[in-house]
Protein backbone atom coordinates (compact mmCIF):
# COMPACT_ATOMS: atom_id res chain seq x y z
CA UNK A 1 0.00 0.00 0.00
CA UNK A 2 1.37 3.39 -1.02
CA UNK A 3 0.82 6.51 1.14
CA UNK A 4 -1.86 7.75 -1.24
CA UNK A 5 -3.70 4.41 -0.92
CA UNK A 6 -4.05 4.88 2.84
CA UNK A 7 -7.76 5.26 3.68
CA UNK A 8 -7.10 8.16 6.05
CA UNK A 9 -5.15 10.03 3.36
CA UNK A 10 -7.92 9.45 0.83
CA UNK A 11 -10.52 10.66 3.34
CA UNK A 12 -8.56 13.86 4.01
CA UNK A 13 -8.25 14.53 0.27
CA UNK A 14 -11.98 14.08 -0.27
CA UNK A 15 -12.76 16.24 2.75
CA UNK A 16 -10.62 19.07 1.36
CA UNK A 17 -12.25 18.73 -2.07
CA UNK A 18 -15.86 18.82 -0.84
CA UNK A 19 -16.15 22.60 -0.27
CA UNK A 20 -14.86 23.22 -3.80
CA UNK A 21 -17.34 20.76 -5.26
CA UNK A 22 -20.08 22.81 -3.64
CA UNK A 23 -18.55 26.14 -4.68
CA UNK A 24 -18.21 25.20 -8.34
CA UNK A 25 -21.41 23.17 -8.66
CA UNK A 26 -23.17 24.28 -11.84
CA UNK A 27 -20.30 26.62 -12.78
CA UNK A 28 -18.45 26.70 -16.10
CA UNK A 29 -14.79 25.70 -15.96
CA UNK A 30 -12.92 26.41 -19.21
CA UNK A 31 -9.70 24.45 -19.68
CA UNK A 32 -7.20 25.17 -22.44
CA UNK A 33 -5.39 21.93 -23.18
CA UNK A 34 -2.15 21.79 -25.12
CA UNK A 35 1.61 21.57 -24.93
CA UNK A 36 3.57 18.46 -24.05
CA UNK A 37 0.77 17.13 -21.84
CA UNK A 38 -1.34 16.59 -24.96
CA UNK A 39 1.40 14.50 -26.57
CA UNK A 40 1.98 12.24 -23.56
CA UNK A 41 -0.41 9.25 -23.60
CA UNK A 42 -0.35 8.81 -19.83
CA UNK A 43 -1.02 12.49 -19.10
CA UNK A 44 -3.68 12.59 -21.83
CA UNK A 45 -5.56 9.70 -20.22
CA UNK A 46 -5.31 11.35 -16.79
CA UNK A 47 -6.54 14.65 -18.22
CA UNK A 48 -9.56 12.93 -19.76
CA UNK A 49 -10.47 11.26 -16.44
CA UNK A 50 -10.09 14.58 -14.63
CA UNK A 51 -12.44 16.35 -17.03
CA UNK A 52 -15.01 13.55 -16.66
CA UNK A 53 -14.76 13.88 -12.87
CA UNK A 54 -15.48 17.62 -13.04
CA UNK A 55 -18.64 16.88 -15.01
CA UNK A 56 -19.73 14.07 -12.71
CA UNK A 57 -19.49 16.23 -9.57
CA UNK A 58 -21.75 18.90 -11.08
CA UNK A 59 -19.45 21.32 -12.90
CA UNK A 60 -19.65 22.28 -16.58
CA UNK A 61 -16.17 21.78 -18.06
CA UNK A 62 -15.40 23.13 -21.53
CA UNK A 63 -12.17 22.02 -23.21
CA UNK A 64 -10.41 24.22 -25.77
CA UNK A 65 -7.36 22.62 -27.35
CA UNK A 66 -4.34 23.69 -29.33
CA UNK A 67 -2.14 21.69 -31.67
CA UNK A 68 0.81 23.74 -32.90
CA UNK A 69 3.38 20.91 -32.94
CA UNK A 70 0.98 18.54 -34.70
CA UNK A 71 0.17 21.19 -37.31
CA UNK A 72 3.88 21.78 -37.90
CA UNK A 73 4.52 18.06 -38.31
CA UNK A 74 1.70 17.66 -40.82
CA UNK A 75 2.77 20.71 -42.84
CA UNK A 76 6.28 19.28 -43.01
CA UNK A 77 4.95 15.88 -44.02
CA UNK A 78 2.88 17.45 -46.82
CA UNK A 79 5.80 19.71 -47.78
CA UNK A 80 3.75 22.87 -47.19
CA UNK A 81 6.03 25.76 -46.27
CA UNK A 82 5.13 27.73 -43.17
CA UNK A 83 6.64 30.66 -41.26
CA UNK A 84 5.98 32.61 -38.07
CA UNK A 85 5.72 36.36 -37.57
CA UNK A 86 5.63 37.64 -33.98
CA UNK A 87 4.72 34.15 -32.77
CA UNK A 88 1.79 33.75 -35.16
CA UNK A 89 1.82 31.17 -37.94
CA UNK A 90 1.35 32.80 -41.34
CA UNK A 91 -1.66 30.94 -42.71
CA UNK A 92 -2.29 31.04 -46.45
CA UNK A 93 -5.10 29.15 -48.21
CA UNK A 94 -3.13 25.90 -48.40
CA UNK A 95 -1.99 26.11 -44.79
CA UNK A 96 -5.43 26.86 -43.35
CA UNK A 97 -6.78 23.66 -44.93
CA UNK A 98 -4.12 21.64 -43.13
CA UNK A 99 -4.68 23.56 -39.89
CA UNK A 100 -8.40 22.83 -39.95
CA UNK A 101 -7.82 19.17 -40.83
CA UNK A 102 -5.43 18.67 -37.91
CA UNK A 103 -7.30 20.73 -35.31
CA UNK A 104 -10.95 19.97 -36.10
CA UNK A 105 -10.20 16.47 -37.32
CA UNK A 106 -7.34 14.51 -35.85
CA UNK A 107 -6.66 16.26 -32.54
CA UNK A 108 -10.25 17.13 -31.68
CA UNK A 109 -11.44 13.56 -32.19
CA UNK A 110 -8.50 12.13 -30.25
CA UNK A 111 -9.48 14.22 -27.22
CA UNK A 112 -13.17 13.39 -27.66
CA UNK A 113 -12.33 9.68 -27.81
CA UNK A 114 -10.15 9.87 -24.69
CA UNK A 115 -12.91 11.56 -22.69
CA UNK A 116 -15.50 9.06 -23.94
CA UNK A 117 -13.23 6.15 -23.03
CA UNK A 118 -12.90 7.64 -19.54
CA UNK A 119 -16.66 7.44 -19.10
CA UNK A 120 -17.71 10.86 -20.34
CA UNK A 121 -19.83 12.01 -23.26
CA UNK A 122 -17.72 14.44 -25.27
CA UNK A 123 -18.70 16.21 -28.48
CA UNK A 124 -16.19 17.90 -30.78
CA UNK A 125 -16.89 21.38 -32.09
CA UNK A 126 -15.20 24.20 -33.94
CA UNK A 127 -16.20 27.81 -34.27
CA UNK A 128 -17.94 26.94 -37.52
CA UNK A 129 -20.62 24.88 -35.77
CA UNK A 130 -23.78 26.99 -35.51
CA UNK A 131 -21.56 30.04 -36.18
CA UNK A 132 -20.43 29.61 -32.59
CA UNK A 133 -17.23 31.66 -33.06
CA UNK A 134 -17.24 34.53 -35.53
CA UNK A 135 -13.71 35.68 -36.32
CA UNK A 136 -12.02 38.65 -37.91
CA UNK A 137 -8.63 38.81 -39.57
CA UNK A 138 -5.71 39.66 -37.31
CA UNK A 139 -3.77 42.74 -38.35
CA UNK A 140 -0.20 43.39 -37.28
CA UNK A 141 2.20 46.20 -38.15
CA UNK A 142 5.97 46.31 -37.96
CA UNK A 143 8.16 49.40 -37.93
CA UNK A 144 11.02 49.43 -40.42
CA UNK A 145 14.18 50.22 -38.40
CA UNK A 146 15.73 52.21 -41.25
CA UNK A 147 12.85 54.40 -42.37
CA UNK A 148 10.79 54.24 -39.14
CA UNK A 149 7.76 53.59 -41.36
CA UNK A 150 5.20 51.05 -40.13
CA UNK A 151 4.13 48.44 -42.66
CA UNK A 152 1.13 46.10 -42.44
CA UNK A 153 2.03 42.41 -42.15
CA UNK A 154 -0.03 39.91 -44.12
CA UNK A 155 -0.66 36.91 -41.85
CA UNK A 156 -3.23 35.36 -44.17
CA UNK A 157 -6.08 33.48 -42.49
CA UNK A 158 -5.02 34.18 -38.92
CA UNK A 159 -7.97 35.38 -36.91
CA UNK A 160 -9.13 36.57 -33.53
CA UNK A 161 -12.56 36.18 -31.90
CA UNK A 162 -15.06 38.82 -32.90
CA UNK A 163 -18.12 37.26 -31.28
CA UNK A 164 -18.86 34.14 -29.22
CA UNK A 165 -22.46 32.89 -29.26
CA UNK A 166 -22.98 31.26 -25.82
CA UNK A 167 -26.33 29.68 -26.74
CA UNK A 168 -24.71 26.58 -28.30
CA UNK A 169 -22.78 25.77 -25.13
CA UNK A 170 -25.74 26.71 -22.93
CA UNK A 171 -27.61 23.80 -24.52
CA UNK A 172 -25.08 21.40 -22.98
CA UNK A 173 -25.33 22.80 -19.45
CA UNK A 174 -28.06 20.46 -18.21
CA UNK A 175 -26.84 17.49 -20.24
CA UNK A 176 -24.04 14.96 -19.80
CA UNK A 177 -22.17 16.39 -22.80
CA UNK A 178 -18.66 17.83 -22.49
CA UNK A 179 -17.83 20.19 -25.40
CA UNK A 180 -14.33 19.99 -26.88
CA UNK A 181 -13.56 23.02 -29.03
CA UNK A 182 -11.02 23.35 -31.85
CA UNK A 183 -9.76 26.96 -32.25
CA UNK A 184 -11.12 27.47 -35.75
CA UNK A 185 -13.34 30.47 -36.46
CA UNK A 186 -15.50 31.54 -39.36
CA UNK A 187 -15.51 35.02 -40.86
CA UNK A 188 -18.63 36.91 -41.81
CA UNK A 189 -17.71 36.12 -45.42
CA UNK A 190 -17.48 32.39 -44.64
CA UNK A 191 -13.66 32.29 -44.60
CA UNK A 192 -11.89 29.89 -42.24
CA UNK A 193 -9.55 31.39 -39.63
CA UNK A 194 -6.84 29.84 -37.50
CA UNK A 195 -6.98 31.33 -33.99
CA UNK A 196 -4.60 31.02 -31.05
CA UNK A 197 -6.07 28.45 -28.64
CA UNK A 198 -5.32 30.52 -25.53
CA UNK A 199 -7.20 33.44 -27.07
CA UNK A 200 -10.20 31.25 -27.89
CA UNK A 201 -10.24 29.79 -24.38
CA UNK A 202 -10.20 33.26 -22.85
CA UNK A 203 -12.98 34.50 -25.12
CA UNK A 204 -15.12 31.43 -24.42
CA UNK A 205 -14.57 31.79 -20.67
CA UNK A 206 -15.64 35.44 -20.79
CA UNK A 207 -18.68 34.71 -22.95
CA UNK A 208 -19.84 31.93 -20.61
CA UNK A 209 -19.02 33.99 -17.47
CA UNK A 210 -16.95 31.01 -16.32
CA UNK A 211 -15.90 30.68 -12.72
CA UNK A 212 -12.43 29.57 -13.76
CA UNK A 213 -10.20 29.65 -16.83
CA UNK A 214 -7.30 27.20 -16.69
CA UNK A 215 -4.44 27.57 -19.20
CA UNK A 216 -2.41 24.35 -19.14
CA UNK A 217 1.11 25.17 -20.29
CA UNK A 218 4.66 23.79 -20.16
CA UNK A 219 5.75 26.06 -17.30
CA UNK A 220 4.81 26.23 -13.62
CA UNK A 221 3.07 29.58 -13.95
CA UNK A 222 4.25 33.17 -13.65
CA UNK A 223 7.70 33.34 -12.04
CA UNK A 224 9.47 36.22 -10.32
CA UNK A 225 12.99 37.34 -11.21
CA UNK A 226 14.40 34.58 -8.96
CA UNK A 227 12.33 31.93 -10.78
CA UNK A 228 9.98 31.46 -7.85
CA UNK A 229 6.31 30.82 -8.55
CA UNK A 230 3.94 33.73 -7.94
CA UNK A 231 0.75 31.97 -6.79
CA UNK A 232 -1.61 34.97 -6.77
CA UNK A 233 -1.62 38.16 -8.83
CA UNK A 234 -4.02 41.02 -9.38
CA UNK A 235 -4.48 42.63 -12.78
CA UNK A 236 -2.54 45.67 -11.59
CA UNK A 237 0.36 43.49 -10.42
CA UNK A 238 0.45 41.67 -13.75
CA UNK A 239 0.72 44.94 -15.66
CA UNK A 240 3.51 46.11 -13.35
CA UNK A 241 5.42 42.85 -13.89
CA UNK A 242 5.12 43.28 -17.66
CA UNK A 243 6.34 46.86 -17.39
CA UNK A 244 9.46 45.93 -15.37
CA UNK A 245 10.31 42.96 -17.59
CA UNK A 246 9.58 40.20 -15.06
CA UNK A 247 6.88 38.86 -17.37
CA UNK A 248 8.31 38.64 -20.87
CA UNK A 249 8.35 36.65 -24.09
CA UNK A 250 5.67 33.99 -24.58
CA UNK A 251 4.24 34.54 -21.12
CA UNK A 252 2.95 38.00 -22.08
CA UNK A 253 0.16 36.80 -24.42
CA UNK A 254 -0.88 34.20 -21.83
CA UNK A 255 -1.29 36.73 -19.03
CA UNK A 256 -2.99 39.11 -21.46
CA UNK A 257 -5.50 36.35 -22.21
CA UNK A 258 -6.07 35.96 -18.47
CA UNK A 259 -6.57 39.71 -18.05
CA UNK A 260 -9.05 39.78 -20.94
CA UNK A 261 -11.00 36.91 -19.39
CA UNK A 262 -11.06 38.46 -15.91
CA UNK A 263 -12.11 41.82 -17.31
CA UNK A 264 -14.86 39.95 -19.19
CA UNK A 265 -16.35 38.52 -16.01
CA UNK A 266 -14.33 35.37 -15.26
CA UNK A 267 -13.74 35.08 -11.50
CA UNK A 268 -10.20 33.79 -11.81
CA UNK A 269 -7.75 32.76 -14.54
CA UNK A 270 -4.93 30.33 -13.77
CA UNK A 271 -1.72 29.55 -15.64
CA UNK A 272 -0.43 26.13 -14.59
CA UNK A 273 1.84 23.30 -15.68
CA UNK A 274 -0.09 20.70 -17.64
CA UNK A 275 2.80 18.23 -17.24
CA UNK A 276 1.94 17.83 -13.55
CA UNK A 277 -0.27 14.75 -13.14
CA UNK A 278 -3.87 15.76 -12.35
CA UNK A 279 -2.96 19.45 -12.51
CA UNK A 280 -6.59 20.37 -13.19
CA UNK A 281 -7.85 18.61 -10.07
CA UNK A 282 -5.04 19.98 -7.91
CA UNK A 283 -5.93 23.51 -8.98
CA UNK A 284 -9.69 23.15 -8.57
CA UNK A 285 -9.90 21.01 -5.44
CA UNK A 286 -7.00 22.04 -3.17
CA UNK A 287 -6.46 25.06 -0.97
CA UNK A 288 -3.12 26.07 -2.50
CA UNK A 289 -3.50 25.17 -6.19
CA UNK A 290 -0.50 24.54 -8.41
CA UNK A 291 -0.19 27.58 -10.69
CA UNK A 292 -0.62 31.35 -10.82
CA UNK A 293 -4.10 32.68 -10.15
CA UNK A 294 -4.92 36.04 -11.75
CA UNK A 295 -7.91 38.04 -10.51
CA UNK A 296 -9.16 41.54 -11.12
Q: Residue 230 pLDDT > 90, yes or no?
A: yes
Query: 102, 94, 117, 46: which is closest to 70 by C-alpha?
Result: 102
Query: 207, 228, 221, 209: which is closest to 270 by C-alpha?
Result: 221
Q: What's residue 147's pLDDT?
A: 63
pLDDT digits (tens, 9 = 90+) for 176-228: 999 999 999 999 999 999 999 999 999 999 999 999 999 999 889 999 999 99
Query: What is the rounded CA–CA span in Å between residue 206 and residue 211?
Result: 9
Q: Residue 170 pLDDT > 80, yes or no?
A: yes
Select the more confidently predicted residue: 37 or 78. Answer: 78
Strands 177-182 and 150-153: unpaired
Q: Count Cβ atoms below 10 Å from residue 174 Cβ, excluding itself.
A: 9
Q: What's residue 59's pLDDT?
A: 95
| β-bridge mates for residue 142, sequence order | 151
Q: Residue 47 pLDDT > 60, yes or no?
A: yes
Residue 1's pLDDT band, with cuts at 50, 70 and 90, is: very low
Supply φ then ψ for residue 134, to 5 degrees.
-85, 130
Residue percentage of the chain with pLDDT more than 90: 66
Q: Contact at 8 Å (CB) between 266 and 206?
A: yes
Say whether pTM exceeds 0.85. yes
Cβ-proximal residues to 243 (8 Å cutoff; 6+ apart), any chain: none
Which H or E run contains 261? helix 251-263
pLDDT digits (tens, 9 = 90+) for 5-16: 677 777 777 788
Q: Contact at 8 Å (CB) between 169 and 62?
A: yes
Residue 143's pLDDT band, with cuts at 50, 70 and 90, is: low
Cβ-proximal residues to 44 (8 Å cutoff; 6+ apart), any chain: 37, 38, 110, 111, 114
Query: 124, 129, 123, 78: which is closest to 99 by C-alpha?
Result: 78
Average the pLDDT over each of 4-18, 225-239, 265-279 and give the range with the smallest value. Answer: 4-18
Domain map (residue ranges) of the chain: 26-295
Q: Where are the beta strands (DSSP E) in 16-149?
A: 28-33, 60-65, 84-85, 88-89, 121-126, 133-137, 140-143
Q: What's residue 2's pLDDT?
A: 45
Select the more confidently predicted residue: 14 or 123. Answer: 123
The full DSSP string for 143-208 is: E-TTT--EEEE--BSEEEEEEE-THHHHTTTTSSEEEEEESEEE-TTS-EEEE-HHHHHHHHHHHT
Half-sphere exposure at residue 265, Cβ-oriented, CA atoms within 13 angstroms: 10
Q: At what angle do helices 41-56 and 108-117 cross, to 10 degrees?
A: 60
Select the more confidently predicted residue: 30 or 71. Answer: 30
Q: What's residue 40's pLDDT?
A: 80
Q: Residue 108 pLDDT > 70, yes or no?
A: yes
Residue 72's pLDDT band, with cuts at 50, 70 and 90, is: confident
Q: What's residue 146's pLDDT?
A: 65
Which H or E run contains 111? helix 108-117
Q: Residue 39 pLDDT > 90, yes or no?
A: no
Q: Which CATH number does 26-295 carry?
A: 3.40.1160.10
Q: What's residue 150's pLDDT?
A: 67
Amino acid sequence: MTPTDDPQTIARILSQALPYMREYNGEYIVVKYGGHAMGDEGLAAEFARDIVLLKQVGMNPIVVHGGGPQIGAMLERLKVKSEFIDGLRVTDAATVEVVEMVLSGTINKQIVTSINQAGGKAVGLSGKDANFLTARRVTRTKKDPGSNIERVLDLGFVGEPEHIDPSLLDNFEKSDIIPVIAPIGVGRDGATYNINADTVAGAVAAAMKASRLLLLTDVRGVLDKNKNLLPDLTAAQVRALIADGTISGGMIPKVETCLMAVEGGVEGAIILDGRVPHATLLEIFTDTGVGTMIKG
